[in-house]
Amino acid sequence: MTQDQIKARILQLAEEHNALLMAHNYQRDEIQEIAHITGDSLALSIEAARTDKQIIVFCGVHFMAESAALLSPEKIVLLPRHDAGCPMADMVTPEGLRELKKQHPKATVVTYVNSSAAVKAESDICCTSSNAVNVVRSLDCDEVLLVPDRNLGRYIASQVDKTCHIWEGFCPTHERLKVAQIEKARADHPDAIFMAHPECAPEILALADHICSTSGMYEYAAASSATTFIVGTEMGILYRLRTQNPGKTFILPSEGLICPNMKLTSLEDLLKCLETLSPRVTVDPLTAEKARLTLDRMLAVPRD
């Protein structure tokens, strides 16, 4: 089958199964092209909960499909590549978090959605890269544990008046971005705006004109009068940025901004998933009950 034939067959099977195709912003271009909805992990999970379709096909990584399963326990959630994991999410375990909680018994645990359901179940509230600062500010406490991303944690700490204890996890993809690469991109494009994801290291964020989530980058690029942008996040975001802003230029400052896990899912994987309705992602009921509460608490925090 040609690529176009595979795409057509995928869409046909999705219609036959009444399935919703969801793709994260970092997925391959051809996956984003045929997805019914694209977005960041939490936005997709919320859309999964809202849809009347009973089958959710989540093109992303494992923790994202778990979040969709938490918010949509009555639906079937499929992950085309069950081996698509997240190194940062793997850097924290429930056991490790329990030990840290013992060291800081008065602290409220704020966990990034880029984490397993089991870790969420050991937490008090979740956050995303777009609402993290707002979530922490909303808490009636003086001390927080920020898990698992040290870079997001340090960014939050710089924005809030609370004692912050930070787990030393990180995103290997964002961690590869170096100051020299930003300086070169700026020298080559002196009029460019540098947008950086808060998963980048502090020295990178210090150079940014705008710090935001992937969804924030879409909004900022569309609203800005600037025509050239240096993009400090995974390369998959370029597909929508360029599609939605045909008159603007988007520059990736490093060839290392590629997440191999996000690029695992192929059209062939998606086709097989719809043919077999597998692999399915589930969460055991006790873990799900505790983990869902952290997401519900986050969703209850008023937006700016």
- State in words which class domain 3-85+262-282 has: alpha beta
Nearest to 281 by CA among 115, 88, 27, 62: 62
For domain 88-170, give the fold: Rossmann fold (3.40.50)
Identify the pLDDT of residue 114. 95
173-251 is classed CATH 3.40.1260.10: no
pLDDT digits (tens, 9 = 90+) for 182-192: 999 999 999 99
Identify the pLDDT of residue 217. 97
pTM, entire model: 0.94
Identify the pLDDT of residue 153. 98
Domain with CATH 3.40.50.10800 in the chain: 3-85+262-282, 88-170, 173-251
Identify the pLDDT of residue 148. 98
Identify the pLDDT of residue 213. 94
Residues (pLDDT < 50) of the chain are: none
